Amino acid sequence: MKGKKIGGIALAIGLSATVVLSGCQTTQTTADASKQPASTASNEVVNPPGVLPITKEKTTLKVMSRTSPNVENFATNEFTKWLEEKTNIHIEWDVATDPKQKLNISMASGDYPDVYLGFNIDPVQLSLYGKDGVFIPLNKLIDKYGVETKKMFAALPYTKELSTAADGNIYGMPSVNECFHCMHSTKLWINQKWLDALGLKMPTTTDEFYEVLKAFKTKDPNGNKKADELPFVGANIANSYIDTFLMEAFIDSDRNMQFLKDGKITAAYTQPEYKEGLKYINKLFKEGLIDPQSLTQDRNQLRKLGENPDAEILGVIAAQNPTVFNTQDGTRWKDYVAVPPLKGPKGVQASKYIPQGITTGSFVITNKAKNPEIALRLADFLYTEEATNRAVLGRPDLEWKTAGPNDIGINGKPAKYSVLGTSAPGAKNATWGQVGPSLRTNEWRLGQTADPKNPLEDILYKETLTKYEPYKPDPKKIIPTLNFTNEQTDEIANISKTIEDYRKETTARMIIGDMDIDKKWDEYLKNLDNMKLPRYLQIYQTAFDALKK
């Protein structure tokens, strides 16, 4: 099957990683598959639910994965080895350097895998391709084989609710990460050493932030007598866009850049306040305070800047946490502290807030899978505490250990585990670097020992609690999770991709000065209208109004 096209562009799918099951290929066509539910008949190769190994004989799964700075080689990875030993499933890896492009090409060409692992495909696209029969419904497979999945759904009902499409089917297994600091994932990190060296205070307003950046650029805060400082840096990855944090000082909006205004769902990126925010960011860019690479570089390139061997050259970085741009095994990340939400010229000061700890579509089985039971059981096994510990933390007694009876967790309660500082610097090869499903509850996250030698999680918890939590939006202003019909889902998918691509391209041009903001603003709004933005908002409004009935 070929992916749906929008204006000649293949429909993009939000992602993180990919998997493909070998020995699971089938010549079944998409049309045929859409009429047939996933097999739940007895499979002689698969052991009963909950019994290990998963397969009675060695089975190979082809896995396409995104690159991760924390994974040296998925094929030789320690967690991969352990997983194969426990499950009897061998994985053949195909690692994509540009996973988004690879995903779109595979879907458009019809040469897609049996399973997409860790791609974090959003609900709209899950439903769209589920309806087309490309992604198979998992409900019956979960009923029969999902031992850990059913436990998770019972303990955390929202995980099932948010994984279920409007037609009642589950087309993707989620990754659960009730990460307190991730609920305020849009952060800036500032070099405290540089502030101290220049006698500067933490900026609290957009004007003060501008003055700090100017000082970072001109006053040699790293002391090497070179003009090598990069005052403000970001990347073309989630939570590192240079505009997201700064815009919250001009207009408060949710992750989809929407907000409630007098009971009406409104697009933030069409408002006068958004325009003023663009002008502010353009000012920073024109004065050389924003590194131009910020608009295009990936995470690996950002980390190379952070680990520049000659000197620290980064002043302020847009990132969820400091290990995005520095290695955790080093010491540089400890030089950075979080910048609280800045107060804008009209008094707006907000933290972008994501209330749920779930990422949808982390494990999606396609109609190419000959033995979907094997794939589902593998996903289900990843929710066990043992698999989660190894996939995320590493090997017991090497990268982590069970907490002692007197160890206290980040939340002040008895700890569950302690992270050890014995892993080699640079790329790690003990975990999957948070690629794919895992079950990290709030209790699990905060159950890490508050260890001064490994303080990252403790720091993230406290920085978020003190600097971002006080600025989270009023619950009455948050757009809740909405349910859409299949028809609405199709419309949203087709409209939103066109709008989002245009908005990102146009605002980037406005930021760098390639497009005059004042002269082109009306044309920008008109083009959004022509791209059916009013209809897009109407669909959301209809779904929102339905909640009140």
In contact, 399 and 432? CB cutoff 8 Å = no
Is 332 contained in some domain? yes
The residue written with tokens 């590493």 in the block is 394
For residues 218 and 166, membership in a common domain is answered with: no
Is 82 contained in some domain? yes
For residues 128 and 270, membership in a common domain is answered with: no
For residues 19 and 116, membership in a common domain is answered with: yes
We report the CATH number of the domain holding residue 80 as 3.40.190.10
Is 124 contained in some domain? yes
User: Number of folded domains in the chain?
Assistant: 3
For residues 26 and 135, membership in a common domain is answered with: yes
| 421 confidence band (pLDDT: 50, 70, 90) | low
Q: 36-45, 158-167, 453-462: which has the minimum mean pLDDT?
A: 36-45
Share of residues in the chain with pLDDT > 70 (%): 91
For residues 304 and 266, membership in a common domain is answered with: yes
Is 255 contained in some domain? yes
Is 458 contained in some domain? no
Q: What is the pLDDT of residues 79-98, one digit of tens each?
A: 999 999 999 999 888 887 77
Q: What is the pLDDT of residues 495-533, one digit of tens each?
A: 998 999 999 999 999 999 999 999 999 999 999 999 999
Q: DSSP secondary-structure letter at 390?
A: I
For residues 85 and 192, membership in a common domain is answered with: no
Q: What is the model's pTM? A: 0.73
Is 298 contained in some domain? yes
For residues 32 and 176, membership in a common domain is answered with: yes
Choose one of 339, 372, 403: the last residue of a domain. 339
Kind plus residue range of the DSSP H or E element containing 400: strand 400-402
Q: How far apart are the first and last CA of the chain?
A: 39
Q: What is the pLDDT of residues 264-296, one digit of tens each?
A: 999 999 999 999 999 999 999 999 999 999 999
Cis preceding-peptide flag for 455 (omega within 30 of 0): no
Structural domain for 243, as ranges: 184-339
For residues 175 and 273, membership in a common domain is answered with: no
For residues 218 and 244, membership in a common domain is answered with: yes
For residues 40 and 80, membership in a common domain is answered with: yes
| 156 confidence band (pLDDT: 50, 70, 90) | very high
Which pLDDT belongs to residue 5? 29
Q: What is the pLDDT of residues 285-330, one digit of tens each?
A: 999 999 999 999 999 999 999 999 999 999 999 999 999 999 988 8
For residues 146 and 206, membership in a common domain is answered with: no
Burial-class residue 77 by CB neighbours within 10 Å (0-12, 13-18, 19+).
buried
Mean pLDDT of 440-469: 90
The residue written with tokens 């083009």 in the block is 527
For residues 176 and 238, membership in a common domain is answered with: no
Which pLDDT belongs to residue 42? 57
Is 288 contained in some domain? yes
Choose one of 311, 339, 367: the last residue of a domain. 339
Is 335 contained in some domain? yes
The residue written with tokens 């500082």 in the block is 421
